[in-house]
């Protein structure tokens, strides 16, 4: 026997009048428990509302563009009474326990995270895995991922998403579980493998007036990625400088031609092209280590990431197939992705697949720095402001425009001699543009 149940907007934290951006169902649809019903978006998060029961949609009460708050009616659902009773019983048990700590392995393909979690059956979870209900609902994840996270006892508000629009994936949850359980096993709650205790919390307000400014989502995500890279990648930085006097003269000569095509040619376009040529001569720079650290994956394609300074923090969009493109085409793509990065209009594919990265501070200043490798890449090139320098020609000192370059690399893949040879070749290519066509 079926009965009609109202489905209401759940507790969504401190938000009110949240916009519905997508209604995923219609009258007559049959849904299962946890199937997504609609997607809401606040100024801080995008969240899906799952079906609390399985059944048949009778009447949808909202549409895309509506503003909703907690307990507003979403739709009516015809459900079997047995299904309602069973689901309500489960919900009550979960509310009492706070988190379901019993994880069942279902097949031989159970992942490492699930296997580790299953060994902790009926043990109280670490403090970092206690789920805070409001933050859990606000996390950017699908109902299936929310269910998976509940099974593992993961607080989604603490997981950084790697999917489209920073959506949390199953792999993100698994990685979080591995880090937490590894830390708990060693008596620590810090990131797995770090062995580093947390910094003590200090009340700075007792020394004077302070202001709390939340980190942007980009900064939070980048922070996790960079910290993981810093702990896992043994890095070395090689410093050198290239004579770009002739290159700069040629770049300026392209100004009128580039203007006709509505393109601004910056030194970065030349750097992209020069790096592509140098990497072709040194293929280890276009590689990644396998997960077991036993083999090297040599890539036959070459996509280069370029760090862009945005109000939200540094973002690294990727220029694809660099070696197949000319200078003007590269300049056009650089301008396009940089503008879209600053306007938060990058697509998922714009930030994936990088093989090598360039971080340029040329427009700001500096003489050298150590950029961090954007793992799983194995090298990154840092660039600072060029400067006119007297250079000895063998007979006299001549004014030459020199460009400081800083190559940071993964020492497990690239040794010092390889790095030095790469930089010698790169400097020669930048010093004589004819080498770009070889």
282 is catalytic: no
Considering Cα of 189, then 191, then 194, then 197, what sign does the dihedral take?
negative
DSSP state of 327: H
SS3 374: coil
Degrees to nearest 5, angle at CA 193 with 190 and 198: 25
**Residues sharing a CB contact under 8 Å with residue 51, sequence separation 6 or more, in sequence order:** 7, 31, 32, 33, 34, 35, 36, 37, 77, 143
| Contacts by 86-92, CB closer than 8 A, 24 or more apart | 87/33, 87/52, 87/53, 91/52
SS3 248: helix
Which parts of the chain register pLDDT below 70? Answer: 1, 12-15, 42-46, 81-139, 143, 164-165, 181-196, 438
Confidence at residue 82, expressed as pLDDT on a 0 to 100 scale: 61
pLDDT tens, position by position, 150-197: 777 787 878 888 776 677 888 888 888 887 766 554 444 444 444 567
Backbone angles phi, psi at 287, to 5 degrees: -145, 175
CA pair distance 128, 148, nearest whole angstrom: 17
**Residues sharing a CB contact under 8 Å with residue 281, sequence separation 6 or more, in sequence order:** 422, 425
Choosing from 225, 238, 303, 411, which is the catalytic residue? Answer: 411
Backbone angles phi, psi at 129, to 5 degrees: -105, 5
Confidence at residue 129, expressed as pLDDT on a 0 to 100 scale: 43
CA pair distance 340, 359, nearest whole angstrom: 18
CATH homologous superfamily, domain 100-194: E3-binding domain (4.10.320.10)
Considering Cα of 432, then 279, then 402, then 335, what sign does the dihedral take?
positive
> Do the domains 220-437 and 100-194 match in fold?
no
Report residue 144 CA to chain centroid gap: 21
Report residue 45 CA to chain centroid gap: 16
pLDDT tens, position by position, 114-141: 444 444 334 444 444 444 444 555 567 7
Query: 220-437 sits in which CATH class?
Result: alpha beta
Residue showing tokens 């004579």? 243
Confidence at residue 167, expressed as pLDDT on a 0 to 100 scale: 76
Residue ranges of the domains in the chain?
A: 1-97, 100-194, 220-437
Query: 1-97 sits in which CATH class?
Result: mainly beta
Full DSSP string of 107-172: STT--HHHHHHHTTTTSPPPGGGPPPHHHHHHSS--HHHHHHHHHHT--GGGPPP-SGGG---HHH
E runs forming strands in 282-424: 287-289, 296-298, 304-306, 308-310, 313-315, 318-319, 356-360, 379-383, 387-392, 397-410
CA distances from 361 to 269, 296, 309 (A): 14, 31, 9
């Amino acid at each position: 026997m079926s009965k009609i149940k109202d489905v209401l907007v759940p507790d969504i934290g401190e938000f009110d009048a949240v916009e519905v951006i997508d209604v995923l169902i219609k009258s007559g649809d049959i849904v299962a428990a946890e199937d997504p019903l609609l997607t809401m978006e606040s100024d801080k998060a995008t969240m899906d509302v799952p079906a609390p029961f399985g059944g048949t949609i009778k009447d949808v009460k909202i549409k895309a563009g509506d503003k909703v708050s907690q307990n507003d009616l979403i739709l009516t659902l015809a459900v079997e009474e047995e299904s309602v009773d069973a689901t309500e019983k489960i919900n009550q048990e979960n509310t009492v326990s706070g988190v379901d700590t019993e994880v069942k392995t279902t097949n031989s393909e159970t992942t490492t995270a699930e296997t580790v979690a299953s060994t902790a059956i009926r043990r109280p979870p670490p403090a970092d895995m206690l789920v805070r209900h409001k933050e859990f609902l606000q996390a950017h994840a699908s109902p299936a991922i929310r269910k998976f996270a509940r099974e593992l006892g993961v607080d989604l508000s603490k997981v950084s998403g790697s999917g489209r629009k920073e959506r949390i994936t199953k792999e993100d949850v698994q990685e979080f579980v591995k880090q937490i359980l590894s830390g708990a096993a060693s008596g620590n709650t810090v990131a797995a493998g770090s062995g580093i205790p947390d910094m003590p919390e200090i009340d700075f307000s007792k020394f004077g007036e302070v202001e709390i400014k939340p980190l942007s989502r980009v900064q939070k995500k980048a922070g996790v990625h960079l910290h993981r890279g810093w702990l896992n990648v043994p890095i070395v930085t090689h410093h050198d400088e290239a004579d770009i006097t002739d290159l700069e003269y040629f770049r300026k000569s392209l100004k009128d031609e580039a203007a006709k095509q509505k393109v601004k040619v910056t030194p970065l376009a030349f750097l992209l092209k020069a790096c592509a040529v140098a990497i072709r001569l040194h293929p280890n720079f276009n590689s990644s280590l396998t997960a077991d650290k036993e083999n090297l994956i040599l890539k036959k394609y070459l996509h280069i990431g370029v760090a862009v300074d945005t109000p939200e923090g540094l973002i690294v969009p990727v220029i694809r197939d660099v070696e197949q493109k000319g200078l003007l085409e590269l300049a056009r793509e650089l301008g396009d992705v940089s503008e879209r990065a600053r306007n938060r209009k990058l697509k998922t594919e714009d930030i994936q697949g990088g093989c090598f990265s360039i971080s340029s501070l040329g427009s700001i200043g500096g003489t050298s720095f150590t950029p961090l490798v954007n793992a799983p890449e194995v090298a990154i090139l840092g660039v600072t402001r060029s400067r006119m320098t007297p250079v000895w020609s063998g007979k006299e000192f001549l004014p030459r425009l020199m460009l400081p370059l800083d190559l940071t690399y993964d020492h497990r893949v690239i040794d010092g001699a390889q790095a030095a040879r790469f930089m010698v070749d790169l400097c020669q290519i930048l010093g004589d543009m004819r080498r770009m066509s070889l």
